[in-house]
């Protein structure tokens, strides 16, 4: 399949550092194979830039198989590009046509400041998890795993939520830069399992408080998050998050 090269025009956000002023730069790139992944296409561009003595475009990536959640990019205004259930690293150039112009931007959200070019700081997500995205048990001496039966249906729902890769596409896609889908995924996973029950109220109240503190916006039910999510985490988790939150506020001692 290689050899059938496409010619592309790339408009890429370049920003030298967190405080620097950014702008779009336009690059022409030829000989793009349809079998390349989107990031391999950027690799080819970067090699060319280095040959011309220009610094390469910084972008986050690691596993390149759609699971680590490190890659990002707004591609023509869509988080992770046009394909459903696909991270940028799994997007392939066969999705584009010869002569296309592609606009590439970093995630845009107050809570995700730009580090450089297309790289942003998503540590806000870690701080939210640190407030309650866990079950408080210490290592060692857990009871036998099969002492705790979990209905298959609940386990599957929990797995559906636990599939979140923490990439931040939900925030980037949302007009309010809301992190509700991300937060609801972890709250739901643990709310659906008996292991998470004792801390359910405390967890949801603390995680939501941290989410607000980080500067994420509120949810207005447009479901762009669900459409953009590469792990297909359903927006119904947001409803569960709201229920858990109401339950905690009304029926427990946890204060928001």
Partner 1 sequence: MFRVAEQPLDGKVPSGDITQVWDKHKDNLKPISPNNKRKYEVIVVGTGLAGASAAASLAELGYSVKAFCFQDSPRRAHSIAAQGGINAAKNYPNDGDSVWRLFADTVKGGDWRAREGNVYRLAQMSANIIDQCVAQGVPFAREYGGLLSNRTFGGSLVSRTFYARGQTGQQLLLGAYSALMRQVGGGKVKMFPRREMLELIVVDGVARGIVCRDLTTGKIESYTAQAVVLATGGYGNVFYLSTNAKGCNVTAAWRCHRRGALFGNPCYTQIHPTCIPVSGDYQSKLTLMSESLRNDGRVWVPKNQSDTRSPDQIPDDERDYYLERRYPSYGNMVARDVASRAAKERCDAGFGVGSSKLAVYLDFKHAIERDGEAVIRAKYGNLFHMYEKITAENPYKVPMRIYPAVHYTMGGLWVDYNLQSSVPGLFVLGEANFSDHGANRLGASALMQGLADGYFVIPYTIADHFGKNASKLGKIGDDHPAVKEAVTAATQRINTLLNTHGTKSVDSFHRELGAIMWDKCGMARNDAGLRQAAGEIRQLRDRFWKEVRVLGSGELLNQNLEHAGRLADFLEFAELMVIDALHRAESCGGHFREEHATEDGEAKRDDNNFCYAAGWEFAGVGNEPVLHKEPLEFKNVPLQTRSYK
Per CB under 8 A, contacts with partner 1 among 197-256 are none
Minimum CB–partner distance for residue 11 and partner 1 (Å): 21
Give the SS3 label for residue 208.
Answer: helix
Minimum CB–partner distance for residue 121 and partner 1 (Å): 7
Identity of the residue, 58 or 227, whose beta carbon is nearer to partner 1 in the bound complex: 58
Minimum CB–partner distance for residue 222 and partner 1 (Å): 26
Residue 167 and residue 182 in contact, taking contact as beta carbons nearer than 8 Å: no
Identity of the residue, 150 or 239, whose beta carbon is nearer to partner 1 in the bound complex: 150
Residues 7-36 that bind partner 1 (CB under 8 A): 16-17, 33, 35-36
Task: Say which DSSP state 141 is in.
Answer: -
- Does 85 bind partner 1 (CB under 8 A)? Our answer is yes
Under 8 Å CB-to-CB from 6, ≥6 apart: which residues?
Answer: 30, 31, 32, 33, 34, 93, 96, 97, 98, 99, 100
- Contact string (CB under 8 A) for partner 1, positions 166-185, x = contact: x-------------------
Orientation of helix 123-130 relative to helix 180-191, angle to 10°: 30
Minimum CB–partner distance for residue 246 and partner 1 (Å): 22
Residues 106-125 that bind partner 1 (CB under 8 A): 115-116, 119, 121-123, 125
Q: Which residues pair with 102 in a beta bridge?
A: 10
Cα–Cα nearest to 182, from 209, 156, 164, 204 = 164
């Amino acid at each position: 399949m290689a050899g059938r090269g496409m010619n592309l025009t790339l408009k890429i956000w370049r920003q030298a550092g967190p405080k620097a002023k950014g702008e779009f730069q336009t690059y022409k790139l030829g000989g793009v194979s349809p079998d390349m992944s989107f990031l391999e296409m950027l690799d080819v561009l970067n090699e060319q830039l280095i040959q011309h003595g220009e610094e390469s475009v910084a972008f986050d990536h690691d596993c390149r198989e759609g699971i680590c959640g490190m890659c990002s990019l707004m591609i023509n205004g869509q988080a992770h590009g046009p394909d459903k259930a696909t991270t940028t690293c799994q997007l392939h150039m066969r999705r584009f046509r010869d002569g296309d112009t592609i606009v590439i931007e970093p995630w845009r959200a107050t809570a995700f400041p730009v580090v450089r070019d297309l790289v942003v700081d998503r540590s806000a997500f870690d701080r939210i998890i640190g407030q309650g995205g866990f079950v408080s048990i210490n290592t060692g001496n857990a009871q036998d795993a099969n002492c705790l039966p979990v209905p298959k249906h609940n386990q599957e729902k929990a797995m559906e939520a636990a599939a979140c890769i923490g990439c931040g596409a939900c925030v980037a896609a949302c007009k309010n830069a809301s992190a509700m889908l991300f937060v609801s995924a972890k709250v739901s996973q643990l709310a659906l399992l008996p292991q998470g029950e004792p801390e359910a109220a405390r967890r949801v109240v603390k995680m939501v408080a941290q989410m607000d503190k980080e500067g994420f916006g509120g949810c207005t039910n447009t479901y762009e998050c669900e459409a953009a999510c590469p792990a297909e985490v359903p927006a119904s988790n947001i409803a569960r998050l709201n229920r858990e939150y109401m339950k905690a506020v009304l029926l427990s001692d946890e204060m928001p």
